[in-house]
Amino acid sequence: MQVYIDEQLCKGCGLCIFYCPKVVLKLSDRRNAKGYNVVRVYQPENCTRCRLCEINCPDLAIYVDQN
């Protein structure tokens, strides 16, 4: 399982963090080129591949590999 975050598309809104039932994601201190704090994968081993993060991202900045 792999969760991919396109940091250049992420605006740090936190919706993916809010919808994740397993605390896989966390807001980081790192900023992208637009000045937004980006989301990072915090605990990938907890991911159940529910894709709620991907579905609820308004910027299409997150992708869950189903393999």
Q: What is the pTM of this model?
A: 0.89
CA distance 2 to 63: 8
pLDDT score of 67: 76
Would you place residue 1 in the very low, low, confident or very high pLDDT band (cuts 50, 70, 90)? low
Which range of residues forms the domain containing residue 16? 2-65
Domain CATH for 13: 3.30.70.20
Segment 15-64, tens digit of pLDDT: 999 999 999 999 999 999 999 999 999 999 999 999 999 999 999 999 99
pLDDT of residue 14: 96
Structure tokens at 43: 């605990």
Burial letters for 22-43: b for 16+ Cβ neighbours within 10 Å, e otherwise? eebbebbeeebeeebebbebee
Count of the separate structural domains present in the chain? 1
**Residue 13, pLDDT above cutoff 70:** yes
